[in-house]
Chains A and B, each alone.
Chain A
Amino acid sequence: MKKLSIFLAFLLFVGFQAAAQMQISGTVTGAEDGLSIPGVSIVVKGNQTIGTTTDIDGKYSLAVPSDAQALVFSFVGMLKQEVPINGRSIIDIQLEEEVLRMDEVVVVAYGVQKKASFTGSASVMKAEKLEKKPVTSFEKALQGNIAGVQVNASSGQPGANSEIRIRGTGSINAGNEPLYIIDGVPIISGDLAQRQTTTNALSSFDPDDFESITVLKDAAATSLYGSRASNGVILITTKTGKAGDTKINFSYQTGFSTRTNELFDVMNAAEYKEYRYEALTNAGTSPAEAQAYVDALGDHDTDWIKEVFQNGKTNDYQLSARGGDEKTQFFVSGGYFDQEGIVIGSSMARYSARINLDHSASDKLKFGTRFTASYTDQVNPSGSGYYADPVTSMYFVPPTEPVYNEDGSYNQSISSNLDYNPVAIADLNNNSNNIVRGLGVVFAQYEIIEGLTFKTNYGIDWFYLGEDLYWNPNTPSGESYTGYSEYASTEKYISTWTNILRYAKTFSESHSVNVLLGQEAQSSERFRTFTAATNFPSDQVTTLANAAEPSTASTDLTSNSLASYFANMNYDYLGKYYLSGSFRRDGSSRFGADNRWANFWSVGFAWRITEESFMNINGVDNLRLKGSYGTSGNSDIDDFASRGLYGYGYDYNGNPGSAPSQLANPDLRWEKNENWDIGLDIGVLNNRVNVILDYYSRTTSDLLLEVPISKTTGFDNIMQNVGSMKNSGIEVELNTVNLQGEFKWFTDFNISFNKNEILELNNGEDIQDGHYMRREGEAFYSFWKQEWAGVNPADGSPMWYDSDGNLVDNISDADFQILGNAHPDFIGGFTNTFEYKGVELLVFFNFSYGNEIYNNSKRYLLHDGQQGSTNASVEILDRWQEPGDITDVPRIIEGGNNSSNRHSSRWIEDGSYLRLKTVNLGYTLPSKYTDKIKLDKVRIFAQGENLLTWTEFTGLDPEQGINGQAWFTYPTARTITFGIDIGF
């Protein structure tokens, strides 16, 4: 009896203990990599006071009340998990990574902001995507990746400039490129060359240093940049250090490049001889004479295109270190990039270094610096797009001409109307430039009282470009000068000082206010020199000191300054309703005395519908409506465009003379940009599907146009603010996590539709500008050509249409009309990323549809005999030869067939294309191997750029300048690289 009661009492006692508390223990690991996770928070569901965290091995042990139902596990960046206890005492779980939106926090004008509260329209490209691309300049990596942004490289030359349009072309005579800001400081961008090579100021930055690139598109986002923000703003932040162990990273990429296609093929010697014979006899030369001429051409068969192209090579090294402790963090990097182009005599090499430091002197005072310096060396094909450029002349030099003479010297007596031997020119002439760049930013930030901070930010962007050109006296260009040497330099700086006061406060738990007050002063100066000399003793010395005749010596200097005051306010109620407003007042030295100061403003709202209690649709995780409206400006005009000026150089009888060179225009002001935008952010299926939709309308007005005035003033016309243009459209960004388990699959897709329309011109008058017609109601880049009707099958002669659709056989009877435009109906890109056990495959396509291109280069190549003895496109072999032939190449006649190759719609082609732009296959070694060799991470990868293109365009590359003009530019290359990333 006694034993039983003791046993029962023991049972009861134990039972009570059990009823009061349970001990649960276990290990928490990551679902992807199996690694244990320290610091995971575990609490009892419904009773947050009972909880613990996992230790360094991911283990935990928690005494929970016996009536506890479930445990809640949470950790930053991981999906919260609620696990029912079900009587278990050992609960091991695996936490999955939370699929966050790419950007919880967005970099915005003058600061950062939570994505949820941001009322503007912005898109982000993160470091991981940037790092992988072996591009010579970072903005090329944006192509096809950001909705609303059109990036066109008009040349594939290493170091070439790009054109960027954010939401379309807004200006006629002022600039169309966006404002670039790095670490809070506006920087110098664009092509500053004085000679006609292409250089790109942005290529002097190493993209591996960038943390993220944010593109600001609408008024609420850009208006705070005022008079420079009309074309959008691109914000770049560079990498900073992090507290913790120093992480060292080494990455190396190497590869080769080739042509993307074999288009623009020209004839070989046999075909060329056949063509010459036929062209001559069709023009009336007797067959005997024509045959004699052809026989005299000789037996050589040179493939000039092959002589000029080569396999390009790329090498890209970067070594960086980042680390620090709670007080000080640093990021240091050094990089070397080297690319030899696919055309002989072209290359680019860049050496760059960076140091970013952040230091907290106290918990109120922080300061830091961002400093980078780089040196870039660029060698360009000589001649810059004219016939002396190998990139152009390789198509024209007859194949019957050899590269070398019998004695080994270059063949420079080429018997056609173009006497340039591209191989000789690439070797003997020189066209190179170098860029030295320094960008330094220092800032300090002080928290005055809680919520109120003051930040001062000062930066200088200093840029130097030296251009060196030399024409060897043994080449046709240099012969008439007995050697020509030229040196030009451009030195420019922008210095910006910004002071900001920021205040953030939440009132009664539901009203949050964020206020910013700022003041900024910017000044900029550009100094240039240009010197040239001729008459050299030999080709052994090329510097100007050795020339006998100095021919030019000049310098010029220009400057401008900008003063601004601005304010911004963000307000939200309960994290549900957001309002924002901004105001900026800019004063610029460029504008007329009567219009020096300008005001810009914006308002925006956002409504997080999913935070409403009525919004409880299962599966809809995020639904946010936003909209904005505001103004910004375009001040990208000449520094002194508004002044009445006198110039010099109007000499008489050996004495200097001056004369009025510009009429005063005190009314001149910036171009205005009015933007409104309405958008919807949708996240469904646990945020596995995210869609951002934007509809926008951007109207630019007060556009600068040359307005003719009475010649009795002594001037022909004056720039006045009279025009207006509209760009409107839709942007869609779709990011999905298709598969999330061990095998992951993500898709990113973006597409943008933009319609461009000229609204107003001076007095409604059309402006005919070269190939284009600027007309109210039409798109800006509308082609103004006569309409080609093809070839007459009866006699092989060319035909055109007049405006009534009648066939005419004389081009002067054909009417000019608008026959297409260069604006795409839509552009975009899509990326699919696959990950499985450390292997990652990224496939990126980009596309453009509906744009026309004017293939002016084809016009020179398919000349139907008009250009005489220069080589021609292989397509000329499709020419008409006898009655009944149906073809689109007319009968070939030496001297031309009735202007068949004159400008007309014959050369307007569809420029739509789909391109497999990037494929990247990489493998990250599992940590168990890397740990053995004491490395943090090792990743090897192979990457291909510009692999495949589908297009109907018959020119070299469907990616041409924004204006749709195709000329003989350096073609884009197909690049394959292999690389390794090592983290220490």
Chain B
Amino acid sequence: MKSIYKILMIIAVIFSITACGDAFLEQTPQQSVDSDLAISTLADADIALNGCYDNLQDVNLYARDYFVVCDIATDNSKLRPENAGRFLDIYYWSITATDGYMAGFWTHGYETLNRINNILLRIDDLEGDDVEKARIKGEASGLRAVTHLLLVNLFGQAYNENPAGPGIPIMTEPAGVDYEPARNTVAEVYAQILADLDVADNNLSYNTQNLYFTKAAAKALKSRVYLYMNDWANAKAEAEAVINSGLYSLADYVVADNPDGAAAGDYIKAWAQASNSESIFNIGFTTTDYHSVDMLGYMYLKEGYGDVIPTTDLMDLYSDADMRNNWFYVDGDYTYTNKYPGIEGARAGVDNIPVTRLSEVYLNAAEANVELGNEAIAITYLDEIIHRSDAAVGTTTATGAALRAKILLERRKELPFEGHRFWDLKRNGDDVVRVDKTVPDAIALIVAGSDDYAYPIPQIEINVNTNIVQNPGY
């Protein structure tokens, strides 16, 4: 009997040794890190910040689609008749809630916000150098503003149209599986954007690191946002702060001969450089980090797809001596734009995409000043832009409404294909009026403030989110 108890004890011991508690069931993933642990140090936060910039490099966002839409929806560009079928609904104004571009903007925009919010959630609790912490916090906030602005431009009516109108859901924290937010008003979104840009402004410093968000970028974007709100005083203050920082100067527009590997036709040298003296904030791409045939330059260049081409509505605006005529070239039956010729030494499609540059800030300043009645100041900024492209033109003498119109015209001439046209039309309550069209019966007129001016929330979101209300007309 005794030996039986002994044996039973041995068995009990074996059982208890091999008996498994929860520790045995803890496994650590090797290719990924648990999200709770992924941002534990400032170095981790910096790496996560790179992931946010990386998402802005998406084809739907700054690599191509967002910029193309801003112009092709308007009178600046059109589809080449033999195009491969991209952007059809945008150009022909037949967008529905199931449109792929809408789904892409929405999904990638919120993906970027999620990446940013995961950093901002944890950044304050991390230990380390305060300056580095501030930098990361500032850059993340700046990128959050950029993303919210992108989304509210697309899916809401203009601020000036109706600030209390539906905008987009603001995201300031990472959300759980069941989250179904309603849309904030356009005014609320703008308030959030400005708050984030202020955080960026306060935490960042001026420097020439133009592939990352800086103090200058924060102020430049603030000047734009205030302009969209018709807040002239603030727009003026922010714009002039950037101009007076002395860090940037307008780039010379010099023609480059066409060497091998760059775009057809002559082009403006400043646009074939990784950065120039007026680059404030670019999204950077390289030959090992780009989307090959799905880049902005590739869409515009004939040697690429060449599916989106400039309209004569735009091209006829330039006088013959204007250097900016070198942004356009004829090849075969059509005129193309080589504003994005590809960085010299790289290949077509590899460009650093400008989110904001000094020329825009000058124009913001000019417009703000003219609205405030400071016509002389407005004219100094305006003329710098004009003379940079055509030194022979005399000083501007227009005043009042004519001066304002001239400034807006110069804005259109300086900033095509840089993601501005549609928003400028929206904020000024101007209709889209087309003369030069792809096919004779394409839509020639879209009325400002109509249902078309706000794109539909994608159906994939409407299907899931019970709190979201679709824009009228879709």
A interface residues with partner B (beta carbon < 8 Å):
446, 448-449, 454, 456, 497, 499, 501, 519, 521, 523, 556-563, 587-589, 596, 639-640, 643-648, 650-665, 708-716, 718
B interface residues with partner A (beta carbon < 8 Å):
4, 7-8, 11, 14-15, 18-22, 24-27, 29-36, 38-39, 44, 47-55, 57, 106-107, 110-111, 113-115, 118, 169, 171, 174-181, 211, 284, 286, 289, 458, 460-461, 463-465
Query: Nearest Cβ distance between residue A573 and chain B, in whole angstroms?
Result: 29
Q: Are B175 and A646 in contact (CB under 8 A)?
A: no
A454 CB contacts on chain B under 8 angstroms? 7, 11
Pick from B18, B24, B464: contact of A561, CB below 8 A.
Answer: B24
Q: When A and B form their complex, what is the total count of cross-chain residue pairs whose Cβ atoms lie within 8 Å?
A: 185
Q: Are A657 and B179 in contact (CB under 8 A)?
A: no
Query: Nearest Cβ distance between residue A897 and chain B, in whole angstroms?
Result: 23
Q: Are A662 and B463 in contact (CB under 8 A)?
A: no
In the complex with contacts A659-B115, A663-B177, A652-B284 CB distance below 8 A: yes
In the complex with contacts A556-B31, A647-B31, A714-B115, A657-B18 CB distance below 8 A: no
A656 to B49, CA, bound (A): 10
In the complex with contacts A587-B22, A652-B53, A657-B47, A713-B179 CB distance below 8 A: yes
A892 to B24, CA, bound (A): 66
In the complex with contacts A644-B35, A657-B48, A711-B460, A650-B25 CB distance below 8 A: no
Query: Nearest Cβ distance between residue B117 and chain A, in whole angstroms?
Result: 8
Pick from B4, B31, B38, B50: contact of A652, CB below 8 A.
Answer: B50
Q: Are A657 and B54 in contact (CB under 8 A)?
A: yes
Interface centre among B51, B110, B289 (most CB of A within 10 A): B51
A713 CB contacts on chain B under 8 angstroms? 110, 114, 174-177, 179
B34 CB contacts on chain A under 8 angstroms? 643-646
Q: Are B20 and A711 in contact (CB under 8 A)?
A: no
Q: Are B107 and A519 in contact (CB under 8 A)?
A: no
Query: Nearest Cβ distance between residue A104 and chain B, in whole angstroms?
Result: 31
Q: Are A711 and B106 in contact (CB under 8 A)?
A: yes
Interface centre among A499, A521, A650, A663 (most CB of B within 10 A): A650
Of chain A, the residue at the smallest CB distance from B181 is A712
B47 CB contacts on chain A under 8 angstroms? 648, 655-658
Q: Are A596 and B464 in contact (CB under 8 A)?
A: no
Task: Known A-B contacts: A645-B32, A714-B174. Give 20 more (CB < 8 A).
Answer: A448-B7, A499-B18, A557-B30, A558-B31, A640-B29, A643-B35, A648-B32, A652-B54, A653-B284, A654-B289, A655-B50, A659-B51, A660-B38, A661-B32, A709-B179, A712-B113, A712-B175, A712-B461, A713-B177, A716-B460
Of chain A, the residue at the smallest CB distance from B171 is A712
Pick from B30, B33, B176: contact of A646, CB below 8 A.
Answer: B33
B284 CB contacts on chain A under 8 angstroms? 652-653
B54 CB contacts on chain A under 8 angstroms? 650-652, 657, 659
Q: Are A708 and B50 in contact (CB under 8 A)?
A: no
Q: Are A563 and B24 in contact (CB under 8 A)?
A: yes
Of chain A, the residue at the smallest CB distance from B112 is A714
B169 CB contacts on chain A under 8 angstroms? 712
A639 CB contacts on chain B under 8 angstroms? 27, 29
A663 CB contacts on chain B under 8 angstroms? 177
Q: Are B26 and A589 in contact (CB under 8 A)?
A: yes
A663 to B110, CA, bound (A): 14
A205 to B56, CA, bound (A): 52
Q: Are B463 and A708 in contact (CB under 8 A)?
A: yes
Q: Is the interface of A mostly helix, strand, loop or mixed?
A: strand
A523 to B26, CA, bound (A): 11
A640 CB contacts on chain B under 8 angstroms? 27, 29, 32
A654 to B55, CA, bound (A): 14
Q: Can you sample 11 A-B contacts with CB below 8 Å?
A: A499-B18, A557-B30, A561-B27, A588-B25, A596-B25, A639-B29, A645-B32, A646-B33, A658-B50, A709-B178, A713-B174
A501 to B48, CA, bound (A): 53
Query: Nearest Cβ distance between residue B19 and chain A, in whole angstroms?
Result: 6
A654 to B52, CA, bound (A): 14
Pick from B111, B174, B289, B460: contact of A651, CB below 8 A.
Answer: B289
Q: Are B32 and A647 in contact (CB under 8 A)?
A: yes
Query: Nearest Cβ distance between residue B126 and chain A, in whole angstroms?
Result: 15
Interface centre among A588, A596, A665, A713 (most CB of B within 10 A): A713
Pick from B8, B50, B118, B179: contact of A660, CB below 8 A.
Answer: B118
A497 to B30, CA, bound (A): 25
B15 CB contacts on chain A under 8 angstroms? 499, 519
Query: Nearest Cβ distance between residue B21 and chain A, in whole angstroms?
Result: 8
A441 to B111, CA, bound (A): 49
Q: Are A708 and B115 in contact (CB under 8 A)?
A: no
B464 CB contacts on chain A under 8 angstroms? 708-710
A523 CB contacts on chain B under 8 angstroms? 24
A767 to B176, CA, bound (A): 24
Pick from A519, A556, A643, A661: contact of B30, CB below 8 A.
Answer: A556
Q: Are A658 and B38 in contact (CB under 8 A)?
A: yes
Q: Are B18 and A521 in contact (CB under 8 A)?
A: yes
Pick from A556, A650, A710: contact of B465, CB below 8 A.
Answer: A710
Q: Are A653 and B53 in contact (CB under 8 A)?
A: yes
B178 CB contacts on chain A under 8 angstroms? 709
A643 CB contacts on chain B under 8 angstroms? 29, 32, 34-35
Q: Are A501 and B11 in contact (CB under 8 A)?
A: yes
In the complex with contacts A651-B289, A652-B50, A708-B463, A716-B107 CB distance below 8 A: yes
A456 to B15, CA, bound (A): 10
B7 CB contacts on chain A under 8 angstroms? 446, 448, 454
A810 to B177, CA, bound (A): 43
What are the 7 tightest A-B residue pairs by CB atom distance, in nearest-first order? A714-B114, A657-B50, A563-B20, A646-B38, A659-B51, A644-B35, A657-B51
Interface centre among B24, B177, B458, B464 (most CB of A within 10 A): B177
A456 CB contacts on chain B under 8 angstroms? 14
B27 CB contacts on chain A under 8 angstroms? 559-561, 589, 639-640
Pick from B32, B33, B211: contact of A653, CB below 8 A.
Answer: B211
Query: Nearest Cβ distance between residue B27 and chain A, in whole angstroms?
Result: 4
Query: Nearest Cβ distance between residue B3 and chain A, in whole angstroms?
Result: 9
A786 to B248, CA, bound (A): 62
Q: Are A449 and B4 in contact (CB under 8 A)?
A: yes
Q: Are A665 and B171 in contact (CB under 8 A)?
A: no
In the complex with contacts A587-B20, A596-B25, A713-B175, A646-B461 CB distance below 8 A: no
